[in-house]
Amino acid sequence: MTLDEPGSAPPPRDARQLALRALTRREYASLELIRFLVRKKISRDDAEQAVAQLVRERWIDDQRFSGMLARTLWARGKGPRFIVAQLARNGIRAKESEVLRWVGEAASLTGEPADEAAAAREIVRRRYPGASSDRKVARRAMQALLRRGFSFDVVRKVVLQEGKEPESEN
């Protein structure tokens, strides 16, 4: 069988080359890259061996991937719970506190809010300006923030306080 035939599997030595080619386009988690290789007709064993070798050579680093994904999703307005769930889909176990630490490190460099409540407040201010006076808009804001992965306590606090002036903002 050749590679040109549909359904043919590339030889095992190509697993590493295919993985490296994928890594030139973007960062991958190890489990995500294994799944990618399997979809490309690489056997599971060969995919795991190739990924393990790339991890040893530090081409793949799940911590680096986690931090990058957390910062990217946070910048897109996603909350800690959403980010934890997205990391879990990629085979990475993380706690909300770790996510907030990664986000905090990035925020210190960019000046973005690293606080969950501040980020939620910014979304409400920008997308739901009438939340403080209109119950329907407030309900929509709460639902949107919950879907984005913000905790219920933070969402409730932010939406209920949106109409009030912040206590200590300069």
Structure confidence by residue, pLDDT tens digits, 63-79: 999 988 988 888 888 98
Query: Taking Cα atoms as reference points, which of 99, 109, 49, 103 lies closest to residue 75?
Result: 103
Whether 84 and 66 map to the same domain: the answer is yes
pLDDT of residue 94: 86
Residue 2 lies in a domain: no
Q: What pLDDT band is residue 4 in, cutting at 50, 70 and 90?
A: very low
Residue 134 lies in a domain: yes
Whether 120 and 155 map to the same domain: the answer is yes
Whether 47 and 66 map to the same domain: the answer is no
- Count of structural domains within the chain: 3
Left (φ > 0), alpha (ψ -120 to 50) or beta: where does 11 sit? beta
Residue 170 lies in a domain: no
pLDDT of residue 170: 39
Whether 68 and 46 map to the same domain: the answer is no
Tell which of 74, 95, 110 closes a domain: 110
User: What mean pLDDT do residues 118-142 have?
Assistant: 90
Residue 49 lies in a domain: yes
User: What mean pLDDT do residues 17-24 have?
Assistant: 94
Whether 98 and 80 map to the same domain: the answer is yes
**120 with 154: CB under 8 angstroms?**
yes
Domain that holds residue 39: 13-56
Whether 51 and 69 map to the same domain: the answer is no
Tell me the whole-structure pTM to 2 decimals.
0.73
CATH number for the domain spanning 39: value is: 1.10.10
How far is it, in rounded angstroms, from Cα 75 to Cα 98? 16
